[in-house]
């Protein structure tokens, strides 16, 4: 019976996730909201497949722990050290600033000071899981806002510890002897010191020893054990498990096993984090929400707006680029899972009543549920608005019509090389990119780059698309690249498109739009490497060059010949095989002929006719 119930719950969780997440992604809501909705549906207020979500929440919290381990792995100690100012400075501003504002409002409303204090700190915390999850999903980790969100989240994790430790002092039952506190603190310091020292001195030799056993699953087990052990140690002394895992991650960030650990932990993290979001969805107490819908709405809107106001001031002072601010605000304005713990502890300590606690927990859960929705709304309405507003303010944007004969859309690794070659030859180009941070960096190097989304018709027109001769389409995102190409073909037929293709399918998409100057981004550099390899193996440099060029011509010709069949995979594969065979046979034949020529014992005949002889293949 035990095993059946375990199977059943596994069935329910996995099925819910498998159905809800792709659906949510399909309608453009992101995976997190899919998990949350799945949780609501299977939870006590939905289909009642699961009635006690708390256990699952505790278990799934481990997903957050794993996530922080991975975040730690990405941060070498040096980089963490360089982040000390954003973490302790801006992190404290966020936490204490928000808490102060919230507490002040609460006190003004005549709420008991202890409730005001606990409530404000609990609500000031944000969901690390959702914040980092969203950053990962949207690939924003490296941006200014991503770094700031991470810094603030880390500070919150650190601050949660003394917060939880101090809560009982507020309670009516403050009969603790102060000695236990000191011993606890000493233990905590000892454990952290042990983790840091152990991580520095023991972990790498241990990992090397385990890796030498060449048993991949044992390495995976080691990675998990490492995180579990650190988390257990931290919890034993009353510290945050997530913080411990983060610490362990940082200590391993410089090790040669970093990538391997990452790869091993990643799937566990993904699934457990999903489970965590499901559990959050399940634990929303709709009874409380239904009982006082108006009050909940006021509290949620109130605390989110107040926190957002504090964050907005921070974003201006830091400063965070305008288009990144909505994400920064929304991710940190929500409540967080640490709030759950704070209110639970406070209830146990008798600081607040159980009903107030479940009310506040519900408020946090609702704010977490709203976060992904707010992000989608911001994407649609707010960010485009800021992007437009921004063109009049911070970064120099495109307001005057440009008349350069070349427009470069996308100024990343690819576009920059194109641009540099053009500039070196005195060709001015109008450069568009939509990554505010990259633009700032490029401007430091003296590039005149404009902020702008090349998929907007009005912006392209301002960029001079109607009079320019060439559009270098170097956008790395395949869909956007095709969108821009389609639009340009429709609206500016005189504009020759020189396109970068990420891969063959992208190549075909562009080819079907009538674009003929398409380069696959890796083809030529890969062929150069092939040349180097042949040369190292003893081929003559010039012969290697000829072979590479001929390979290229054959390859491109074949690609174009196959364009009509690109939807028919079987045909495509057959033709690719055939083409490869043709080329192999041709090269083999030529090798044979070259060998024959080389093997010839000598040349008979007059010197005059010898001078006409030519070896078509340099002898290798």
Give CA 253 to chain center in angstroms.
Answer: 18
Instruction: Mark 560-599 with x for binding to other proteins (rule: CB under 8 A) and - for no binding.
Output: x-----------------------------------xx--
Query: Is residue 603 a contact residue for other proteins (CB under 8 A)?
Result: yes
Q: Check binding of 550 to other proteins (CB under 8 A).
A: yes
- As measured in angstroms, the least distance from the Cβ of 496 to other proteins is 8
Tokens of 5: 């119930």
Instruction: Show the beta-strand stretches assigned E in 488-544.
Output: 496-501, 517-520
User: Which position has the token pair 């009509």?
Assistant: 564
205, 446, 493, 605: which one binds other proteins (CB under 8 A): 605
- Helices and strands, number each (H, E), in the chain: 29, 6
Nearest distance from C-beta of residue 398 to other proteins, angstroms = 24
Shortest CB 497 distance to other proteins, Å: 13
50 and 275 Cβ atoms separated by less than 8 Å: no
User: Which of 263, 582, 609, 619 lies at the binding interface for other proteins (CB under 8 A)?
Assistant: 609
Q: Which two tokens stand for residue 303?
A: 């605390």
- What does the block give as tokens for 209? 């020893």
Near other proteins in 485-524, by CB under 8 A: 516-517
Cβ contact 121:99 at 8 Å: yes
> Which residue of 552, 572, 575, 583 would you call a contact of other proteins, by CB under 8 A?
552
Q: Is the Cβ of residue 228 or residue 594 nearer to other proteins in the bound state?
A: 594
Task: Rank residues 88 and 551 by Cβ distance to other proteins and give the closer one.
Answer: 551
Question: H or E segment at 473?
Answer: strand 470-473
**Binder to other proteins among 177, 214, 400, 613 (CB under 8 A)?**
613
The answer to whether 318 and 148 are in contact (CB under 8 A) is: yes
Question: Beta 517-520 vs 406-409: how paired, if at all?
Answer: unpaired
Nearer of residues 3 and 596 to other proteins, judged by Cβ: 596
Q: Is 277 in contact with 36 (CB distance < 8 Å)?
A: yes
In the complex with other proteins, which residue's Cβ is closer, 7 or 610?
610
C-beta closer to other proteins: residue 461 or 552:
552
The answer to whether 268 touches 282, Cβ cutoff 8 Å, is: no
DSSP string, 387-398: HHHHTTSSS-B-
Residue 420 CA, distance from chain mean position: 29
Piece of the chain touching other proteins by CB under 8 A; list 37-45, 48-56, 247-255, 600-608? 600-608
Whole-angstrom Cα Rg for the chain: 31
User: What is the DSSP code (8-state) at residue 34?
Assistant: H
14 binds other proteins (CB under 8 A): no
Q: Does 556 bind other proteins (CB under 8 A)?
A: yes
SS3 457: helix
Considering the complex, state which of residue 217 and residue 613 has its C-beta at the smaller distance from other proteins: 613
| Residue 424 interacting with other proteins (CB under 8 A) | no
Nearer to other proteins, 74 or 590 (CB): 590
Cα(18)–Cα(22) distance, integer angstroms = 7
* Shortest reach from residue 503's CB to other proteins, in Å: 18
Q: Which residues contact 295 (CB under 8 A, 6 or more apart)?
A: 359
Q: Which is nearer to other proteins, 186 or 417 (CB)?
A: 417
For the CB of residue 567, give the shortest distance to other proteins in the complex, in Å.
23
Q: Of 511, 512, 515, 549, give the one whose Cα is nearest residue 530.
A: 549
Q: Is 557 in the site for other proteins (CB under 8 A)?
A: yes
- Least Cβ distance, residue 549 to other proteins (angstroms): 4
Total residues interacting with other proteins, rule: CB under 8 A: 23
Minimum separation from the CB atom of position 266 to other proteins (A): 41
Would you state the structure tokens that stand for residue 463, as one six-digit string?
Answer: 């960029």
Looking at residue 172, the DSSP 8-state letter turns out to be: S
Residue 606 engages other proteins in binding (rule: CB under 8 A): yes
Q: Is 543 in the site for other proteins (CB under 8 A)?
A: no
Residue 536 interacting with other proteins (CB under 8 A)? no
C-beta separation of 595 from 620 below 8 A? no
The CB-of-505 to other proteins minimum distance in angstroms stands at: 19
Distance (Å, whole) CA 289 – CA 201: 51
- Applying CB under 8 A, the residues found at the interface with other proteins are 516-517, 546, 549-550, 552-553, 556-557, 560, 596-597, 600, 603-606, 609-610, 612-614, 616
């Amino acid at each position: 019976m035990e095993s059946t119930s375990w199977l059943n719950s596994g069935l329910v969780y996995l099925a819910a996730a498998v159905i809800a997440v792709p659906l949510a992604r399909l309608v453009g809501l992101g995976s997190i909201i899919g998990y949350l909705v799945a949780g609501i549906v299977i939870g006590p207020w939905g289909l009642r497949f699961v009635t006690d979500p708390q256990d699952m929440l505790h278990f799934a919290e481990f997903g957050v722990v794993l996530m922080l381990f991975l975040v730690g792995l990405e941060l070498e100690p040096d980089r963490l050290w360089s982040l000390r100012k954003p973490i302790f400075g801006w992190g404290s501003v966020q936490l204490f600033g928000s808490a102060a504002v919230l507490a002040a409002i609460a006190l003004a409303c005549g709420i008991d000071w202890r409730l005001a204090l606990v409530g404000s700190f609990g609500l000031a915390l944000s969901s690390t899981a959702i914040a980092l999850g969203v950053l990962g999903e949207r690939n924003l980790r490296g941006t200014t806002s991503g770094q700031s969100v991470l810094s603030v989240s880390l500070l919150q994790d650190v601050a949660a510890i003394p917060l939880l430790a101090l809560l009982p002092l507020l309670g009516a039952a403050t009969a603790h002897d102060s000695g236990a506190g000191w011993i606890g603190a000493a233990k905590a310091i000892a454990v952290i010191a042990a983790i840091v020292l152990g991580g520095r001195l023991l972990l790498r030799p241990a990992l090397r020893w385990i890796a030498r056993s060449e048993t991949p699953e044992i390495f995976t087990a080691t990675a998990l054990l490492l995180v579990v052990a650190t988390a257990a140690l931290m919890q034993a002394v009353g510290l945050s498990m997530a913080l411990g895992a983060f610490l362990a991650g940082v200590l391993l960030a410089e090790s040669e096993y970093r990538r391997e650990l990452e790869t091993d932990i990643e799937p566990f993290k993904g699934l457990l984090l999903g489970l965590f979001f499901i559990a959050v969805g399940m634990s929303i107490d709709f009874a409380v929400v239904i009982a006082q819908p108006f009050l909940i709405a006021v509290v949620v809107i109130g605390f989110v707006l107040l926190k957002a106001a504090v964050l907005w001031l921070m974003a201006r002072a830091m400063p965070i680029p305008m288009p990144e601010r909505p994400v920064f605000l929304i991710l940190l304005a929500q409540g967080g899972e640490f709030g759950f713990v704070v209110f639970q502890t406070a209830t146990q300590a008798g600081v607040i009543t159980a009903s107030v606690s479940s009310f506040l927990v519900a408020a946090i859960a609702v704010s977490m549920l709203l976060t992904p929705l707010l992000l989608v709304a911001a994407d649609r309405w707010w960010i485009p608005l800021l992007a437009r507003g921004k063109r009049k303010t911070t970064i120099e944007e495109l307001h005057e019509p440009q008349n350069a004969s070349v427009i470069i859309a996308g100024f990343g690794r690819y576009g920059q090389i194109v641009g540099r070659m053009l500039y070196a030859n005195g060709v001015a180009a109008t450069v568009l990119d939509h990554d505010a941070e990259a633009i700032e960096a490029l401007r430091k190097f003296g590039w005149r780059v404009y902020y702008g989304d090349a998929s907007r018709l009005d912006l392209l027109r301002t960029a001079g698309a109607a009079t320019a001769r060439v559009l270098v389409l170097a956008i790395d995102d395949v869909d956007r690249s095709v969108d821009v190409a389609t639009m340009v073909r429709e609206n500016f037929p005189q504009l020759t498109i020189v396109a970068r293709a990420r891969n063959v399918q992208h190549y075909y998409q562009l080819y079907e739009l009538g674009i003929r100057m398409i380069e696959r981004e890796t083809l030529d550099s890969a062929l150069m490497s092939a040349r180097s390899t042949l040369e190292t193996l003893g081929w003559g440099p010039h012969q290697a060059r000829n072979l590479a060029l001929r390979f290229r011509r054959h390859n491109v010709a074949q690609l174009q010949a196959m364009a009509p069949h690109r939807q028919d995979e079987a045909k495509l594969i057959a033709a690719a095989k055939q083409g490869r065979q043709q080329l192999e046979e041709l090269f083999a034949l030529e090798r044979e002929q070259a060998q024959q020529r080389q093997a010839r014992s000598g040349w008979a005949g007059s010197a005059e006719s010898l001078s006409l002889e030519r070896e078509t293949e340099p002898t290798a």
